[in-house]
Amino acid sequence: MAGEASQRTMLLLAVEVVRAAYEEALLKHGLLPSTVALIHSYAEENLAALDEPTTVSSGAAVVPVKDGHEI
């Protein structure tokens, strides 16, 4: 769907603007470029993990969860 693709493109552009703003702020604060790159890689890992199935403890059992719903 063209509308969904357009929304996704806009979202990706917004994420890039925010990423660049944070990177610039971290550098301005005095962090080394290598530290900023490491923080960026951590953030990418965290975002990628949002798309992966996770597990949530439900009492004694472990219940697989995806998108906030048990699977």
User: Does residue 70 register a pLDDT over 90?
Assistant: no
| Residue entry with tokens 């604060």 | 29
Q: SS in 3 state form for the chain? A: CHHHHHHHHHHHHHHHHHHHHHHHHHHHHCCCHHHHHHHHHHHHHHHHHHCCCEEEEECCEEEEEECCEEC
Q: Which two tokens stand for residue 29?
A: 């604060």
The structure's pTM equals 0.59
Q: What is the pLDDT of residue 47?
A: 84
| Residue entry with tokens 């994420």 | 15
Taking only the tens place, the pLDDT of each residue in 37-51 is 999 999 889 888 887
